[in-house]
Amino acid sequence: MDKRTEISSLLNRVLRGRGNALFLTPPGYQEGKSLLLSSPVYVKAVRGLKDIREIERRRTENPENFGALLLDYEFGFRLEEKISRLSFTDSDITGVYYEYQPEKSEVIDPATITLYPKKRKQYRVFNQVLSDSPDSYGEKVERLKEYIARGDTYQINLTTEAYFTLDGDLTAFIIDLLKKQSAQYITIINTGAHLTISVSPELFFRVRGDKILTAPMKGTIKRGKNLQEDEIRKEQLGNSAKDRAENLMIVDLLRNDLGKICEFGSVNADRLFEIETYETVHQMVSYISGKLRAGTGLSDIITALFPCGSITGAPKFRSMEIINELERRKRGLYTGSIFFFTPEETTANVAIRTAELFADSDTPKRYRGVLPLGSGVVWDSTPDGEYAEILKKGEFLTRRHNDFRLFETCYFDGEKIPLLDLHLNRLKGSAKFHLFLFDEAAIKEALRENFTPGQELIMKLLLGKWGELEVQTRPYEKIYRHLRVLLSDNGVNSESQEFYFKTTLRDFYDEEFSCALHAGYDEVLFLNEHGRITEGSWTNFFYELGGQLYTPEVSEGLLDGVLRQKLLAEGTLRERNISPEDLAQCARVFMGNSVRGLMPVAEVRSGKNRLFYNKN
């Protein structure tokens, strides 16, 4: 396996001291930097704009220093006189700034980090409780719809909070979050009082020189079960008039905000309605830029833009009044922003997917956590639908991450891998779907390093989320016999994405194959929920009927095998679905893959010894 630094070592350094922070942009993203910051030389509590101006002054005087600013959502009330007294007093702290000297600021190359520790540590999340019941949240949704009907607002981001308890290794918990939630603007910062973990995909703004860029997110759709369905879902979102209208509403709000600080005529919606993909949803994103007026500083930008319109609603300040009335609590950092300052630029995220963990003073390795969750309420929203959305968003806390890698099993003939291009193309598609980094040059090099010229090998290539590579090899041994195949009693669901991709989550396949071997068979054959044949545990299924070779359609719930792809492309194979009862009509039956080719089947039987096919 390629040698990388375990991310747990970086996380442990964050945990060692107050103000230590990790700003992380995973490999694969073109923009952004990753830095490990420690031992801040200056810490400033933020209560109002005068404190932001003081931070601005320090950054002007010490441009070589790095900085981090955590700014609560409630700071936005300081920026509009008519709502400035809604939720706190003048003494309330609404943010904190940390400043770091260059010698305490370490640039991190994410390509040198692995998310897969040699020894996996344990944790558990339990006692998850929402601050709102279905009824109380539903009442707020209905009240919001009344405001929308009156024209007070067009949409509102309504939030609640999930409280939970974490026992065990904190770094293991964070690593699982990073695997489950892809994001470009990740921050892990130790404030001393608590640990903030922000796995945010949304850019609030970025300033480089006199250019400012903002990228609001609004509009989502659920992912598809495979690559084909996923592309259809993306197209549906991109063409959705409703989602485009909601996105454009926020674009107009932010264009107006940028117009307050940018040169006349310089504000442009550069890219509208682009689709970005995350683990469970596709998200609609638009990009707006402008040229800052001469003399525009951090305090001017925050006054004009904060908080981001995508997490309030439109119009912004009236929406904030309504949010304050209904939520009746402080949001804190959630839907505020985390700012990251380098000598070259300022980057601020929208602090969503942001949890805070507090150490339990009575129990070692126990933490009390809070994770705010939100849903966007519009005119046609329903109470049940909105509550279901926040429950769905909170599932990743209690759902243990199914730690997996993608893999390909290839045949090396002593000189080359004959079907390498097909293997790489399939792996690239799987990586795209699962948001894994795919570096074809690095993969080819890793394979070449494990070639043994003149010796036939079976090569297994494993790919991790951040491009981690491992190659395993074993000698190739021919199989000369006809296979005995057992029909499994446990079917597959063609709507489950797990059956369309080659991953290390193979417990189901391995257990069924083991049972077949124990019963004296060579392979097991699965049926889907419709009672039709799909595939084997390590092979695709093929059959000959009327002189033509057939295989089931991928949509039946099976892996699009490399041998299968090759034969279809050559025109020697066609797709046609089949039930076990029809096997008796087949001239021949095969199980096959790219390593073994087509292997003749001697018989297919059920667990109750019913014979469905016999070559004789």
The pLDDT tens digits for 181-213 are 889 999 999 999 999 999 999 999 999 999 999
Secondary structure in 3-state letters for 35-94: EEECCCCEEEEECCHHHHHHHHHHHHHCCCCEEEEEECHHHHHHHCHHHCCCCCCCCCCC
- Read off the tokens for 246: 């909601």
| Average pLDDT rounded to a whole number, residues 69-79 | 93
Q: How many CB atoms lie within 10 A of CB 537?
A: 19
- Give residue 155's pLDDT: 84
Mean pLDDT of 144-172: 93
* pLDDT, tens digit, 9 for 90 and up, residues 438-482: 999 999 999 999 999 999 999 999 999 999 999 999 999 999 899
Which structure tokens are listed for 353? 């997917």
Residue 235: per-residue pLDDT: 97
CA distances to 119, 229, 435, 509, 562 from 402, rounded to whole Å, are: 16, 22, 15, 16, 25
pLDDT the model gives residue 229:
95
- For the chain, which domains are there? 5-208+328-398 (3.60.120.10), 406-475 (3.30.470.10), 483-614 (3.20.10.10)
DSSP line for 344-410:
SEEEEEE--SEEEEEE-SSSTTEEEEEEEEEEEE-TT--HHHHHHHHHHHHHHHHS------EEEEE
Query: Chain-wide mean pLDDT for the chain?
Result: 93
Instruction: Give the confidence band of 399 by pLDDT, cuts at 50, 70, 90.
Output: low
Write down the pLDDT at residue 5. 86
The reported pLDDT for the residue numbered 442 is 95
Given this model, what pLDDT does residue 118 score? 84
Is pLDDT above 90 for 548? Answer: yes
pLDDT of residue 307: 94
Per-residue pLDDT averaged across 375-388, rounded? 89
Binned at pLDDT 50, 70 and 90, residue 586 comes out as very high
Q: Are 450 and 486 in contact (CB under 8 A)?
A: no
pTM of the model: 0.90
Question: What is the pLDDT confidence band of residue 398, given thresholds at 50, 70 and 90?
Answer: low
Q: What pLDDT score does 528 carry?
A: 97
573 compared with 5, residue with greater pLDDT? 573
The predicted-structure confidence for 19-70, as pLDDT tens digits, reads as follows 999 999 988 787 667 899 999 999 999 999 999 999 999 999 999 999 999 9
Contact 102, 362 (CB under 8 A): no
Catalogue the long-range contacts made by 269-275 (C-beta closer than 8 Å, 24 or more residues apart): 272/247, 272/248, 273/219, 273/238, 273/244, 273/247, 275/234, 275/237, 275/238
The pLDDT assigned to 384 comes to: 94
Mean predicted confidence (pLDDT) in 136-152: 95
Position 402 scores a pLDDT of: 73
List active site positions: 202, 218
User: In what helix (H) or strand (E) does residue 321 lie, and over which residues does it extend?
Assistant: helix 316-327
Cis upstream peptide for 40 (omega within 30°): no
Q: What's the angle, vertex CA 31, arms to CA 30 and CA 32, rounded to 5?
A: 130
- Cα–Cα distances in Å, from 151 out to 140, 144, 225, 315, 326? 17, 11, 39, 10, 17
Q: Tell whether the model's pLDDT for residue 616 goes beyond 90.
A: no
Structural contact between residues 337 and 350, judged by C-beta atoms closer than 8 angstroms: yes
* Whether pLDDT at 87 is above 60: no
The tens digit of pLDDT for each residue in 260-302 reads 999 999 999 999 999 999 988 899 999 999 999 999 999 999 9
Task: Please report how the helices 420-434 and 562-570 are oriented relative to each other, as an axis angle in degrees rounded to 10.
Answer: 120
Q: Higher pLDDT residue, 329 or 580?
A: 580
The C-alpha torsion from 84 through 90 and 95 to 98, rounded to 10°, is 140
Measure Cα distances from 497 to 278, 557, 558 in Å: 15, 8, 9
Nearest Cα neighbor of 487 from 552, 530, 532 is 532
Cα distance between residue 453 and residue 587, in whole Å: 39
Q: For 237-253, write each residue's pLDDT tens digit.
A: 999 998 999 899 899 99
Q: In 10 A of CB 545, how many CB atoms?
A: 17
Q: Phi, psi (5° rounding) for residue 172?
A: -65, -40
Would you give the distance in Å from CA 324 to the centre of its chain? 30
Percent of the chain with pLDDT strictly greater than 70 = 97
Over residues 124-153, mean pLDDT = 94
Residue 90, pLDDT above cutoff 60: no
